Chains A and B, each alone.
Chain A
Amino acid sequence: MENFNYHRPATTTAAVALLKKSKDGKFLAGGHTLIPTMKQGLAAPRDVIDLTAIKGFSGIKVSKTMVTIKAGTTHQDVTMSKDVNKAIPALAQMVGKIGGVHVRHKGTIGGSLANNDPAADYPSACLGLGATIETNKRKIEADKFFTGMFETALKNDEIIIAVHFPIPKKASHQKFPNPASRYAMVGVFVSQDGKGKTRVGVTGAAPCVFRAVEVEAALNEEFSAKAASAVKISAKGLLSDMHASAAYRAHLLSVLAGRAVAAA
């Protein structure tokens, strides 16, 4: 691994200033994506700016209508949170399936969203629940946040501060994990709000997380497992690799959507 300058700022303002001053700086949170990437030589930042010493960078707040998770909160803290388990059990359960427990002890929600891995779990929950991502500059709707494979709407010097999840009436997450890596081959997050509106966030199936609008339309007509799994998903644009073909992923999507509705 290339060497770098390590910084540990105490405030978001200081972190942004350090990044702006650097020719090639990177924020570091749990490090469970960035460090493996640096080991492979796929990233070689000159300055690594550790966000974990920032005061108030992690924590969970639940109101009557909203679950707010600060960016530096680890996956383990989210899945173990009594408040999250009560307000949006599907979210807590999904986070409990991210990697293994050692990964959950370090990995954070902010790092996961900023990275936007095509197979990551949190992005599907953000789309499936209609979350809002709050940064040091603005609030971004999930629908506008995930812009492509490993791409987001974040500017270079923008730090995710917190994620706000509206509490749905019902929700469920279903994941078909790759048996070796535990990342989602396909993962589906379904929710229905108080007005009967459905959202379906899908990860693992395509180069970027997306909403399965055909499934949403069917579920807005009739919220049933049968309606969800009856939707024929086109394999066009879906991922095809050594683990599964695009057609297989398309099939998995409607099967998992059906299971999610049944469990919601």
Chain B
Amino acid sequence: MHSISLALNGKPVHGQVEGRTLLVEFIRESRGLTGTHVGCDTSQCGACVVSVNGKAVKSCTVFAVACDGAEITTIEGLAKGVDLHPMQVAFKEHHGLQCGFCTPGMIMASIDIVKRHGKSVDEETIRRELSGNICRCTGYHNIVKAVQAGAANM
């Protein structure tokens, strides 16, 4: 077992993990934060996307032990109390979800897109940049609208 310490949604967290413990397992099973989802076992779907040291990564494809000392933000870390993050509000307002399974990863990926491309990111860029996030419900149109609206309000 390895001891790790990291900042999870701004709070210091300590834990014991095996070498093989994936970051997503640590987040969901050790910390009980089940907003981060697992939608595949091939690193393709993006339901597990979280921010590690300011970058969107697939938490199913990172070992928790390698995140010792990292700053991690999950979907649970976005809202301020009852006030949702502008990107969460936009997904709600623009019907950017149906079953919601892909949504945490979509929102974490979308915030990362805005960080890199700015508030006025265009539709083509959003579509290209969401290629690592799969949604089996919406057909993507409303997700793209939501990201554009959320970006403008960030």
Contacts and interface: CB of A to CB of B under 8 A. Distances in A.
Interface residues of B, number: 28
Contact of A3 (B19, B46, B113, B130): B19
A36 B61 CA distance: 7
Contact of B20 (A4, A40, A103): A4
B131 A100 contact: yes
Contacts of A28: 63, 66
Interface in A142-199: 181-182
Contacts of A1: 20
B19 A101 contact: no
B42 A36 contact: yes
Contact of B49 (A31, A38, A102): A102
Contacts of B56: 101-102, 105
B18 interface: yes
Nearest to B42: A36
Interface in B85-112: 109, 112
B138 interface: no
B41 interface: yes
Interface string B17-47: 0111010000000000000000001111010
Contacts of B57: 102, 105-106
A50 interface: yes
B8 interface: no
Contacts of B131: 100, 182
A31 B132 contact: no
A32 B2 CA distance: 22
Find the residue from B22, B49, B55 having the highest chain A CB count within 10 A.
B55
A100 B132 contact: yes
A5 interface: yes
Contacts of B58: 102-103, 106
B5 to A, nearest CB: 15
Contacts of A241: none
Given A35-B63, A36-B61, A102-B49, A3 B20 contact: yes
Given A3-B20, A48-B19, A106 B63 contact: no
B61 A32 contact: yes
B43 A103 contact: yes
Contacts of B132: 99-103
Contact of A101 (B42, B66, B129): B129
Contacts of A40: 41
Contacts of B142: none
A39 interface: yes
A116 interface: no
B13 interface: no
Given A48-B19, A100-B46, A6 B62 contact: no
A179 to B, nearest CB: 10
B2 A6 contact: yes
Interface string A2-37: 111110100000000000000000001001100110
B133 interface: yes
13 contacts: A3-B18, A3-B20, A5-B19, A6-B2, A6-B65, A6-B66, A31-B66, A32-B43, A36-B41, A100-B130, A101-B113, A106-B62, A181-B44
Interface of B: 2, 18-20, 22, 41-44, 46, 49, 55-58, 61-63, 65-66, 109, 112-113, 129-133
Closest 4 CB pairs of A and B: A100-B132, A6-B19, A100-B131, A105-B55
Given A3-B20, A6-B19, A39-B41, 20 more contacts: A2-B20, A3-B19, A4-B20, A6-B63, A28-B66, A31-B62, A32-B61, A35-B61, A36-B61, A100-B46, A100-B129, A100-B132, A100-B133, A101-B109, A101-B112, A101-B132, A102-B49, A102-B109, A106-B62, A181-B44
